[in-house]
Amino acid sequence: MVAIADGGSTKCDWVFLDNKSEESIRTNTIGLNPNVTHEEEIIDELNKNLVFSQVKEKVSHVFFYGSGCGASSNVEKINNILEDFFPLAVVSIKEDLTAAAYSVYEGKPLLVCILGTGSNSCYFDGKEVKVDLPSLGFLVGDEGSGSALGKTLVKDYFMKKLPSDLECDFKETYALTIGELIKNLYHSPRANAYLADFSKFILNKKSHPYIQNLIYNELKKYFYYQVLPYRESRDCELGFIGSIAYYYEDILRSLAAEFHFSVGKIVQKPIDNLVDYHKRYILPHL
């Protein structure tokens, strides 16, 4: 049995394939980003999942792709946890950018763009993932992401920048106090996911002019910081992954046209495409 996992900061999708490479089981856990989720919490999350308890001694290979797995220390941490949990498995750990690249690859080089809870980008030539830009996290980077959108919305609410109708709706929806906000930002291990959760409000108000402008400006920052620096971006398509890219596809494609970029696939959840990639390019060679 083979396990394939795509892990963002908020949620991790798992698919288990049988010996004929057919899907056997599907489940999910919280995001297992080692930058924001403590080792003990990751272990607890695996142990409490009933699906894992049924199959963990049948798994021969684990392919884990996760946020925060670009740093060698984090790779070692996740590798040790998964090797202990799946005692008979060969474990492969790669960052979420690789999963994103695999999920939008259609046989030609492309620039891979992640827009979910966080944001990132890379160039994939079909064999190697090239990362020219660091991921600075939600405090400094993550332009255009769910956490960035949520951060701007919350800031504008408390600083009295929201239009009156949105201010009333926000207040009624969340009844958020500054004390509660500070507590969740500075005393929660998942502050990025907390901020990204406010993007649900943005999605529900998508047609409002203020919201349209907020989304446009944040996505424009993404192009400025995460796309334009790649010289290869002018010679290939852009492939997008993540809920923000999926829900705001119209604004995203409009912005791409302004920058004279061509957009290919826009995938909300990489897991299905990721499984297909493994069936085609990886599993036959095990």
Looking from the CA of 161 toward its CB, the CA atoms found within 13 Å total 11
**pLDDT tens-digit series, residues 34-68:** 877 888 888 998 899 888 988 999 999 999 998 88
The pLDDT-based confidence of 235 (bands split at 50, 70, 90) is confident
Q: Is the pLDDT of residue 234 over 90?
A: no
Q: Is the pLDDT of residue 212 over 90?
A: yes
**pLDDT tens-digit series, residues 115-135:** 988 888 999 998 888 888 877
Average pLDDT over residues 67-77: 86
Q: Is the pLDDT of residue 97 over 80?
A: yes
* Separation between Cα atoms, residue 102 and residue 116, nearest integer Å: 17
Q: Is the pLDDT of residue 245 over 80?
A: yes
Q: Is the pLDDT of residue 286 over 90?
A: no
The pLDDT-based confidence of 201 (bands split at 50, 70, 90) is very high
Q: Is the pLDDT of residue 33 over 90?
A: no
pLDDT of residue 19: 87
pLDDT of residue 135: 77
The pLDDT-based confidence of 233 (bands split at 50, 70, 90) is confident
The pLDDT-based confidence of 84 (bands split at 50, 70, 90) is very high
pLDDT of residue 63: 96
pLDDT of residue 107: 87
Average pLDDT over residues 151-172: 95
Q: Is the pLDDT of residue 148 over 80?
A: yes
pLDDT of residue 173: 95
pTM: 0.80
pLDDT of residue 285: 85
